[in-house]
Amino acid sequence: MAEVHVIGQIMGATGFSESSLFCKWGIHTGAAWKLLSGVREGQTQVDTPQVGDMAYWSHPIDLHFATKGLQGWPRLHLQVWSQDSFGRCQLAGYGFCHVPSSPGTHQLDCPTWRPLGSWREQLARAFVGGGPQLLHGDAIYSGADRYRLHTAAGGTVHLELGLLLRHFDRYGVEC
């Protein structure tokens, strides 16, 4: 079977109005993909940058996949959260990006967004915290469902991913 190694890090985030940020991440693949080593999801630590600075996480990602086909190429989904002084967490943004398909080192910038909700939910978010979240994570990927939502832009998550491909030539795939 062909193999894909993804080695890199979630470097951090910029452009968020909230402070004390952390990121929950996961990787989704198609049915023909098998995870040989690594973990499918994780969470960074909280970083509290100065106003306008980057939140640094430097969270490692190390995944090794085997696949029978290219359908369902891996995509990384991200949720950025903020934590207030009372330890309450609220969503700052959703985002996703496809893992690059060419070998080498890649710098990726993943824009994020969050659902706005009604004016009452927006007012409650400003004073009490919380706010609307997606019931089903599939809406992050599917543009058709997402266009029905009222959303606000979040910041950008910065990633550095290295990709190694093995045995793709045996299966007729040119790198």
User: pLDDT tens, 150-173?
Assistant: 777 899 999 999 999 998 888 766
User: pLDDT tens, 21-69?
Assistant: 999 999 999 998 999 999 999 999 999 988 778 999 999 999 999 998 8
The token pair at 139 is 């809406």
pLDDT over threshold 60, residue 99: yes
Average pLDDT (85-95) is: 86
pLDDT over threshold 70, residue 7: yes
pLDDT over threshold 90, residue 4: yes
Alpha helices in 71-152 (DSSP H): 119-127, 143-146
CA angle 81–87–93, rounded 5-degree value? 10
Q: How far apart are CA 77 and CA 13, in angstroms?
A: 14
pLDDT of residue 64: 97
CATH 2.60.40.150 fits 2-171, yes or no: yes
Name the burial class of residue 126, with classes exposed (0-12), middle (13-18) and buried (19+) by CB atoms within 10 angstroms of its CB: exposed
pTM: 0.85
Average pLDDT (66-78) is: 91
**Distance from the Cα of residue 79 to its chain's centroid:** 6
pLDDT of residue 103: 93
User: pLDDT tens, 104-131?
Assistant: 999 999 999 888 766 676 666 666 666 6
